[in-house]
Amino acid sequence: MKLSSLPLLVALAGPLAGCVWSPNHQQTIDRTVPFDISGWSQFSGATITLQAFNYEVGNWTTVPGVQTTAAAGGLWSDPTLYSYELENVLLQSKYWIPPGAGCETGGMASLRVFENGYKMVAYDEAQRDCVWDQVWNDGEHPAHAGYDCGTSSQLVLFSPPTCP
């Protein structure tokens, strides 16, 4: 997508949302170890929250105690991007499928990150590599490159069996 078509995209899709940069969509993590979620917001001081699919109730729920604020100082411009980091996220077993599984079973968690109520996009490894290629080699703005490279509507993480 060229820069000239970005205003049309914004008009059709509403406000641009920020992104989850790390971890990657479909990345494998150890579900017994706290991890960080970081990325970029479109809003200075935005409230960043995390939702996870709760397999016990069969619905998306806000993960309690996991919230942060996007930085006040931004990078890039048109649009300016503001960094954020949700630190030390440790998901309860109700957020992993199969729910309540023992350490001998792997799992999958479905997550959504929001900035001021707007759902952020996530990138798998190939999409993230594409963004970096366009930013560093082609001089694209990260927000524009993100739309060119495709995005995922949620962050799905996998965990292998965790028994010692």
pLDDT digits over 83-135, tens only?
Answer: 999 999 999 989 988 766 677 777 899 999 999 999 999 999 999 999 999 99
- pLDDT of res. 92: 92
Residues 146/133, Cβ–Cβ less than 8 Å: no
- pLDDT of res. 100: 65
Mean pLDDT across 29-38:
93
H helices, E strands: number in the chain: 3, 9
Q: Which of 5-14, 23-32, 151-160 has the highest mean pLDDT?
A: 23-32
Domain count, the chain: 1
The two tokens of residue 90 are 């440790």
**Residue 3 DSSP symbol:** G
pTM for the full predicted model: 0.83
105: in domain: no
Residues 143/135, Cβ–Cβ less than 8 Å: no
pLDDT at 63 over 80: yes
Q: What percent of the chain has pLDDT over 70?
A: 88
**Residue 130 DSSP symbol:** H
Region of residue 141 (phi > 0: left; psi between -120 and 50: alpha; otherwise: beta): beta
Decide: helix, strand or coil at residue 65.
strand
How many other CB atoms sit within 10 Å of the CB of residue 107?
Answer: 21
Domain holding 83, by residue range, is: 3-24+34-90+111-149
Q: pLDDT digit string (tens) for 132-149?
A: 999 999 998 888 888 888
- pLDDT of res. 16: 55
Mean pLDDT across 72-80:
81
Give the side-chain half-sphere CA count within 13 A for 31.
28
**Locus of tokens 């963004």:** 131
Mean pLDDT across 1-15:
36
- pLDDT of res. 160: 85
Task: For residues 54 and 9, give the distance between their C-alpha atoms in angstroms, rounded to a whole number.
Answer: 32
65: in domain: yes
Mean pLDDT across 19-36:
92
Confidence of residue 1 (pLDDT cuts 50, 70, 90): very low
Task: For residues 104 and 16, give the distance between their C-alpha atoms in angstroms, rounded to a whole number.
Answer: 41
